[in-house]
Structure 1
């Protein structure tokens, strides 16, 4: 069947959708949607074709938006998406994971919520915030946010979540209990005797390798890492990269050894691409070596950053790779990163990019 490829784009001023066919040569842009709310994360559920977005701010509060017609119409709900009265209120939704009727949403201040009715109502996964380490969690530069939710592809009881700045946590029982999984990741900003503490790491991105649920990749505030035991231990794979600092990581849809990064020049040096020359860095061997991919990307005066959820891949062959910038430009490669082109400009600051492929 012919395929329709959708890029789901969350921005500071609403959601946008870029659409193409399976050749991915020409793109049409639609939006803004979601009443121009700040939308931190926009995802598609390949089982139902529904699109979900989450965002908000101190004025609007948090909500999860939903479209069942590929963006033509939208509804939203915040029912149950709140902490108990008297606690610090939720400022915004930050991340989503969807599969059929079950959805998870990560929020700020960091917590996890679950919906079993396709986003109509929500309940907190309370055990996460009751973890004994909770008093040690500290806000990163973007706040105390739960920004990544990674589901096990075969076991729905297993989840990994990422919190800045607390680290990676894992549950094997559907959220009834949680264990930190940060061994081997460092905190350069902590006192020397606390550099490898159990919690407190400022994880920036967390992705799972294709076909290998026990292999995870993590871009951290302080380095790039790989785990081959579901996050119980992490090994540095930053050798050969131009910087230990960056935000997004994206896994190849079929090859567990292939990973994409977009490093920035450092946490206090401007947080833009090194030397103001844009490059996506690709590893074909699980992070042992890296190659910079620059064809079609700006090689001078590129003072943009790319945020933690703003790079992704599609499942086609060859895989498409996409990223959006803090300056509102959207870049696409239809050949696994070998060649790039800008397919949209002048959007609001791009907060997230995800893909959804459906039958045309």
Structure 2
């Protein structure tokens, strides 16, 4: 059966779709979609072929866009994406997760909303909004945003959220209650005797290992980490990397020991590629050792950044790895990050990259 490979991009000027076959050598670019709204995350559901997009800002408000025909037409809804009257308004929808019959949206100011009717309407998950630590959450450099929702593949009541800069939280009862999952994650910007608080960590990205839902990888403002117990404890895996600071992470689609990171040169040193030489760092042993992949990437003048949701893998037997930059370039690797090619350029700032593989 012929296969279609899609790359789904969220950008500052709408959503874009790139299309190829199973070989992934030639790509067609379509877009911008979503009326060129700022789109923070685009996600596809391979089972149904539906594509979702989360976006908005203070001027537009938040909205979840939906396409059931691979981007040819779109509709959007903001029904229910609001906090109670008197609260700070929801500025934008930042992240999406789809599974177990629901669509989840992470928003700014940080919160999560769930839809049980295919994205037509949403309801606030109050167990997170009413968490006792909520009054003490502080915004990161990009705002107080909930930028990742990770669903457990087998347990519909269990999922994790990541908030900058409050940390990681987990629910095991469908959102009635949430527990902080930040033990072992340090805050370098706190006084020495307060370096490991229960909440307040500036998590940048969190991904789940293939086939091991309790193994999580995290790239943080202050280090890179792995948890083997669903976030109850984290261990540092940054030794061997050029920096303890970065944004995106991606998990291998079939090997739980393989993970990919893009460290940057530091939070106050420009936030670009170390030494202005681009590389994707990869581990085959759960972060114990690291190797850099540079072939095909610019090795001078690489002053670009890669944002927290802008790297992903596909589901082919020979998996592809992709990342997009804030300068509008999109890179692809078909050998697990060893070598790269640029497959698109001159796009708007790329905020997110996701993949979808479907029958053609």
Provide TM-score, normalisation by structure 1. 0.99
Give the equivalent residue in structure 1 for 2:99.
99
Equivalent pairs, count: 360
Give the equivalent residue in structure 1 for 2:334.
334
**Alpha-carbon shift at residue 308 of structure 1 (Å):** 0.2
SS at 2:275's partner residue?
A: helix
Q: Is 2:90 aligned against 1:90?
A: yes
Give the equivalent residue in structure 2 for 1:190.
190
Q: Is 2:226 aligned against 1:226?
A: yes
Alignment of 1:336-355 (within 5 A): 336-355=336-355
Alignment of 1:211-360 (within 5 A): 211-360=211-360
Aligned residues of 1:48 and 1:100 also touching (Cα < 8 A)? no
Give the equivalent residue in structure 2 for 1:121.
121
SS at 1:103's partner residue?
A: strand
Give the equivalent residue in structure 1 for 2:12.
12
For residues 177 and 70 of structure 1, what CA distance do their matches in structure 2 show?
36
For residues 73 and 99 of structure 2, what CA distance do their matches in structure 1 show?
20
Give the equivalent residue in structure 1 for 2:63.
63
Gaps of 5+ in 2: none
SS at 1:339's partner residue?
A: coil
Q: Can you list the C-alpha shifts for 1:172-217, whole angstroms capped at 9, x where unaligned?
A: 0100010000000000011112110000000000000000011000
**Alpha-carbon shift at residue 135 of structure 1 (Å):** 1.4
Gaps of 5+ in 1: none
SS at 1:135's partner residue?
A: helix
Q: Can you list the C-alpha shifts for 1:43-89, whole angstroms capped at 9, x where unaligned?
A: 00122110000010001000000000000000000001101111110
What CA RMSD, in Å, does the superposition of the two structures yield over aligned residues? 0.7
Give the equivalent residue in structure 2 for 1:26.
26
Give the equivalent residue in structure 2 for 1:173.
173
Q: Can you list the C-alpha shifts for 1:103-130, whole angstroms capped at 9, x where unaligned?
A: 0000000000000011000000011011
Provide TM-score, normalisation by structure 2. 0.99
SS at 2:135's partner residue?
A: helix
SS at 1:193's partner residue?
A: helix
SS at 1:127's partner residue?
A: helix
For residues 117 and 44 of structure 1, what CA distance do their matches in structure 2 show?
17
